Amino acid sequence: MKPLRIFGYCILILFFFYELFPFYWMFNTAFKTRAELRLSPHVTFFPHNPTIENFVVVLRRQVTAFVTPPIMNSIIISLVSTLITLILSVPASYSLARFKIKRSDNISFWILSQRMMPPIALAIPYFIMIGALNLLDTQLALILVYTAFNLPFAVWMLKAYWADFPWVLEEAALTDGCNRLQSFFNVILPLSWGSIATVTFFTFIFSWYEFLFALILTRSRATTITISLASSILETGVEWGWISALSVICTIPTILLSIFLYKRIISGLTLGAIKG
Amino acid sequence: MARSYKYFLLMPAIAYLLVMGIFPLLFSLHAAFHSTVAGEYQFVFLRNFFRILEDARFLNTLRVTITIMIAVIAIELLIGLGMTFLLAYLKMKGITYTLTQVVLLLPIMMPPIVVGYTWRLILDPFIGPINEIITSMGFSRVTFLTIPNTALLSVILCTVWYWAPFAIVSLYAGFRNIPEELYEAAAVDGATGWRSHRYLTIPLLKQVIVTVILLRIMDLLKLFDIVFVLTSGGPGTSTEVVTLYNYIVGFKYFDTGYASAISYIVLIFSIVISTIFSRLAMGEKK
Amino acid sequence: MKRSTSAITQMQAAIIIVILIVVVAGGAWAYYYLYQPPEEAALTVATMSVTLAMPWLSTSDIPGYGAQYWAEEEGVEVTCVEIPIGQLYDKIMTELRAGTGAFDIIAYPSYWAGDIMGGDYVLDLDDYLTQYADDVELAYDDFKEVYRERLNMWGGDTYGIQIDGDVWCLFYREDIMENATNQANFEAQYGYPLRSPRTWDEYLDVAAFFTGWDWDNDGEIEYGATEITNRAGAYMIWNYWSRYAPAIEFPDGKPGAIYFDPDNMDPLINSPPGEKALQNWIDTLQYCPPGAEDATYEATWDHFLGGRAFMTHQWPDLGPLGNDPDYSGIVGKSGYGMIPGWEEAWDFETDQWVTNGTGLYWEDGIHYGSPLAWGWTASIAKNTKYPDLAFELIKYVVSPEQAALQAAEAYDGLDPYRQQIFDQGKAKTGKIAEVFADVLPGWENYDEFFEALDENIEVGVPDLRVPSAFRFYETLSVQISNVFAGLTTKDTALAIAESEWTFVVESLGTEYLLGLYQESLG
């Protein structure tokens, strides 16, 4: 191998190291005992006595320190919000992509412009609206809000995918005697599975990560897992072991999913850049 | 039949966005024109907006936010282009390529909050690995997050760490879209390696670059989670970004009128910038 | 491409399965969501929930202490909601404003009283006090007067019960101070004996003396002091008040009147005492361990308990904490003193420095004033369903037995507020002696600790108690932390803080706030 090539690989590895180091550190800290974190004279790069006590404590606190365990809240909110997003976005994007609709370009742009909206602009109105509906600190509140944020992205992504879709297949199915609904389920959906899976992934992840609105709209009943991270900061100090353990729990699902779905994720991410 | 139900398919989504997107904005505008004085909610017209112009702390947040935006985007583009060239040069296939893609994706998969906390731990002067290395080499501890300049730098580096993969993946994908023949043609003309990149790749990637910049600007205007957790506005107000100040005014001081006014200014700013850039992006498409 | 329209294809089957799953999941969720928490009308006292918002109470593992213990005994379901300290104000206030009844009892520091009590969000407790006047568990007369007569009241009525007697105290390493060599060297260098600093100038001297060398022979360079300077969490500001308050000859003898002019609501912080206080704080930082410009509360504990700083001044928690072998490396080595004062105090009436004054706050030509900083108060939310039970729980938490346990427990954040606890502590008798011998056996001089606390309370200065006090404290903290970060100068910071305070006062209504301020002064 040419020396330049080796050098190139070295840079690549260094970069990987830079990107992966925080993961390593997160795992490292999650398995350390409290004593080692607080009292050890030197920072250890590997736990001396690896322990799962942080995980045990954190999971126990999920139940004792909150009215409803935040993990459960996060799962439910993310799943339901994703579901509703799909229910609303699939037909809408199908319609935009397939049919000629008056001013569809404007509509598309408007939908995309929702992405431009900084969430903070909606923070106060949402807070007041949700409060007026007496839905503060409920899962429903976050579900509604997250759907509102995910919907534009989902519509945009599906529309972009369906713009390239071979509609002749649908025409063929229609001439074969299927109605629109059957042709949708039998022909379009199977071929679009990947794209829909990508959208599902992104909307789920967005709801899973979200912090600002969870911070504003929840207190004790509907806290999500991201908020529960902050509860490891006690008056007495930051419990880094707890935070790391909770971070691991929070991140593992997405890491696993991304290992399996990486191709889809990359295509989803680059969709914007390439197709504009 | 097709005629009417295509609108039916579209309506639920539009209706939802109208209720959850447009209506709150109108509400926010209404709130921006009011203020609570002596315990009573009063119409104060543009007073909140004028106050913004005099608010030194707000102007500081603008400065901080714009600094972060420029620095982050510049660094990300450099890294993105650099890695794209590197990957192009290395021409990886198969398992190494897969591995590279997965590794590049992982940072974005972390929740921003976790990113913030983990980096805060890494940068900690007493229990963080970076200071451990620094002290074992004999230097004195660097308290990254308590000195304004290094705190800002830490926020920038943390954000870059988090989003650089996006730039890399986008630019590389864009690069892969460029037909091989163009490079072969250029090679015939004597432009290989670095020169081919300089005269071929970068110009052709312009549209992708502009789009990436646009998306990153929109994302960075919303920057909140990482700053909230890493520095909470930093030593003093040196890393206080607009969203953080907006949050403080709205949810700590409960000055809803003023907070709404601020968020409107941010919204308008966001729309203006993204319109400019998306015009640029769409223009290039031709 | 022919597809049979009658047979169920794989795809359709998959979709049916997915829909079934969704329906089942949705049903389960709907059931869970709609039927929890139980909203049945509780006619029997045995089943219902009393929800608290406190950052520590229920999950304590200490036997015989905490709301859960009471809950088990009484057969009441108590849910303690833990909110991180940095979000406590937001969460409580948004909840009270929304009025959803999510919290039955709230615990908050006294300077939020303007928003909470003044906002009419909590119940008037006078009826309960009358009802339980003879109850030994409550023994309200046993509470220190400043809490009973001042901090728990608003507009003449009692709205809260003090559950924590916070007063700032000076902590130092008694073992190091009593070292004969140190004493000799100090006196030689500064001309007066080494002792618990009486003024803030002496504080700087002592801090300087103990900075830069290893005075406890552990191989590390040590420092003279450690201060809370981190902006998040809003704890830092009392480092300023502790220097500012003693520098002022209290208008009308009212220590609470140091924030605004009681006649016209002008901010008083941009003034000679304000500058003197800030300058002293800035000067102290050079004698603190690295990271001094942004040190958190916990960091000061680490520094003091880890033997890295000679002294500090802060909440009483450091007393029990410093003598608990689980947390402290300096068990039995701490000394306790008054928060330093100044040899002159500014009189706002005459715009002059006053010396050798008389009265409660002057002693030997030094003017004192210790911040009654924070101080958890418990109130019952107005829209609670179970006010009686809520009061019973509060009564349990403040009972003399619990108070004794709380005094010994380092991590609860609850400090003594009952006269009998102070008496027992100073004399080393009674329940306190029992508990301390049991929980903190290594602590010999806890009588000195109680003595010091009591002395500080005698010259206690209450917090600002008007609506938006949080905002006033916050904006001042931000400006001061900008000074520490090197982003602005002391004079600019105070000037900006003053103009921000004026702006907030005007936008909230000067007359309105002035009325409330005057009322809060008593």
Reported as a pLDDT band with limits 50, 70 and 90, residue C32 is low
CATH assignment of the domain containing C486: 3.40.190.10
Q: Test C512 with B36 for CB contact under 8 angstroms.
A: no
Same domain, C402 and C483: no
Same domain, C174 and C215: yes
Among C385, C416, C449, residue at a domain's last position? C449
Helices first, then strands: H and E counts in chain C: 21, 17
Same domain, C368 and C380: no
Q: Give the percent of chain B with pLDDT over 90.
A: 19
pLDDT tens string B214-258? 888 888 888 899 998 888 887 878 899 999 999 989 888 888 889
Average pLDDT on C394-411 reads: 81
Residue C46 has pLDDT above 60, yes or no: no
C34 domain residue, yes or no = no
Q: Inform me whether the C-beta atom of residue C485 falls under 8 Å from chain B C-beta atoms.
A: yes
Q: Test A125 with B31 for CB contact under 8 angstroms.
A: yes
Residue C59 has pLDDT above 90, yes or no: no
Residue B1 has pLDDT above 90, yes or no: no
Q: Inform me whether the C-beta atom of residue A235 falls under 8 Å from chain C C-beta atoms.
A: yes
Q: How many CB atoms lie within 10 A of CB B279?
A: 12
Same domain, C333 and C394: no
Q: Test C87 with A220 for CB contact under 8 angstroms.
A: no
Same domain, C161 and C73: yes
Q: Give the percent of chain A with pLDDT over 70.
A: 95
CB contact residues (below 8 A), chain C span 151-190, against chain A = none
Same domain, C339 and C310: yes
Q: Test A122 with B211 for CB contact under 8 angstroms.
A: no
Interface mutation vs chain A, best among B114, B119, B221, most A CBs within 10 Å: B114
Average pLDDT value for chain C: 83
Residue A139 has pLDDT above 60, yes or no: yes
- pLDDT value for C201: 95
Q: How far apart are CA A76 and CA C18, in angstroms?
A: 16
- Specify the length of chain A in residues: 276
Residues of chain C with C-beta less than 8 angstroms from the C-beta of B140: 290
Average pLDDT value for chain A: 83
Same domain, C193 and C238: yes
Among C449, C472, C493, residue at a domain's last position? C449
Q: What is the DSSP secondary-structure string of C229-257?
A: ---TTS-THHHHHHHHGGGB--GGG-GGG
Among C449, C474, C496, residue at a domain's last position? C449
Same domain, C246 and C318: yes
pLDDT tens string A77-112? 999 999 999 999 988 888 888 777 777 677 777 776
C13 domain residue, yes or no = no
* All structural domains of chain B: 49-285 (1.10.3720.10)
Average pLDDT on C135-142 reads: 88
Residues of chain C with C-beta less than 8 angstroms from the C-beta of A39: none
pLDDT tens string C85-123? 777 788 888 888 877 777 888 888 889 998 889 888 889
- pLDDT value for B153: 93
Count of domains for chain C: 2
- DSSP character for C8? P
Residue C232 has pLDDT above 70, yes or no: no
C11 domain residue, yes or no = no
Residues of chain C with C-beta less than 8 angstroms from the C-beta of A233: 84-86
- ipTM of the complex in this document: 0.87
Same domain, C352 and C430: no
Q: How far apart are CA B218 and CA B213, in angstroms?
A: 9
Amino acid identity at A109: F
Q: Test C487 with B237 for CB contact under 8 angstroms.
A: yes
Same domain, C316 and C282: yes
Structure tokens at C334: 């701490």
Classify domain A68-231 at the CATH topology level: MetI-like fold (1.10.3720)
- Specify the length of chain B in residues: 286
Amino acid identity at C3: R
Q: How many CB atoms lie within 10 A of CB A30?
A: 24
- Specify the length of chain C in residues: 522
- pLDDT value for B115: 93
Burial (CB < 10 A; 0-12, 13-18, 19+), residue C189, is exposed
User: What residue ranges do the domains of chain A occupy?
Assistant: 68-231
Mind telling me how many Å the CA of A60 is from chain C's nearest CA?
A: 10
Same domain, C354 and C242: yes
Same domain, C466 and C359: yes
Q: Give the percent of chain C with pLDDT over 70.
A: 84
Per the structure, the complete domain to which residue C100 belongs is given by 49-166+375-449
